[in-house]
Amino acid sequence: MHLSTRPAVASAENAFAADLFSGLPKRYDLLAEVLSFGQNGRWRSELVTQIASSAPKTVLDVATGTAGVAIALANRTDGEVTGVDLTESMLARGRQRVSTAGLEHRIRLQVARAEELPFPDATFDAVSFTYLLRYVRDPAATLRELARVLRPGGVLASLDFFVPPARAWRAAWWLYTRTVLPPAGLALGGPEWWRVGRFLGPNISSFYGAWPLSRIVHGWEAAGMAGVHFKAMSVGGGVVMWGRKGADGTRDA
């Protein structure tokens, strides 16, 4: 099933993200695996494991894109899954994938902003988000909004790229993202993927310069999340983070 509305793009960051991803859906899933050396699937599986461990009956997947995480959540849980994203073309591809998987009765997709979710407080048992905070104006406020729609005791989990902490791996990551990723994207996916390839490495570096993991963890805790953990994946190329909303909806002491 799907519900499609078109909220106004409310910030420059939203507009940039919508424009960046609008031309990617056709080969997005294949290229995401190829350009991450097949690691994207491993990272996604860890994210889904953290959500599935709580056996949620209702799940919200934010920045769902082509619904890869939403489909995995439906396959690993008995819950109803709602996926939201800014980019209608990504959602259109997602609906095709949901239909092919025979999951229309379990997954609904709609256009929505992470910063202003169209759901009442404490709607969902679990909330996931992927590759999101680098594309919003105020990560701390976005985390508060994600926590708002999560029920007390519910699980919040995220996945994003990361910068390897070890010097040798960080140097290799820098070389790959600056010199290999752009031409590889162009060769495999065309001009849209060249643009993404040129943008991605500098964007990841600048984000963690301003928002190191310690600051992100604090943002989660300030939003009311307790027991926040993170796991660096693939020598630090990705990071999965998770925690539970405090029983009273506020940060635990």
Question: Per residue in 143-175, pLDDT tens?
Answer: 999 999 999 999 999 999 999 999 999 999 999
Delineate the domains of the chain, giving CATH numbers in brackets.
12-26+38-161+211-245 (3.40.50.150)
Rounded CA-CA distance 108/105 in Å is: 8
* Angle, CA 133 vertex, CA 212 and CA 79 arms, to 5°: 120
Q: C-alpha distances in angstroms, 79 versus 92, 127, 144, 146, 222?
A: 22, 12, 23, 18, 28
Bigger pLDDT: 17 vs 179? 179
* Model pLDDT for residues 29-50, shown as the tens digit of each residue: 766 776 677 788 899 999 999 9
Q: What was the pLDDT predicted at 184?
A: 84
Q: Does residue 90 surpass a pLDDT of 50?
A: yes
Mean pLDDT of 223-228: 98
What are residue 142's phi and psi, to 5 degrees?
-65, -40
Confidence class of residue 63 from pLDDT cuts 50, 70 and 90?
A: very high
Q: What was the pLDDT predicted at 253?
A: 34
Q: What is the pTM of this model?
A: 0.88
Q: If you search the block for the tokens 């939403």, which residue do you land on?
A: 70
Q: What was the pLDDT predicted at 18?
A: 61
Is residue 110 classed as helix, strand or coil in its secondary structure?
A: strand
Rounded CA-CA distance 99/85 in Å is: 18
CA-nearest of 188, 159, 169, 173 to 34 is: 188
Q: What was the pLDDT predicted at 251?
A: 44
Rounded CA-CA distance 134/116 in Å is: 16
Q: What was the pLDDT predicted at 142?
A: 98
Q: What was the pLDDT predicted at 16?
A: 60
Bigger pLDDT: 188 vs 222? 222
Q: What is the DSSP letter of 17?
A: H
Mean pLDDT of 219-246: 96
Confidence class of residue 20 from pLDDT cuts 50, 70 and 90?
A: low
Q: What was the pLDDT predicted at 121?
A: 98
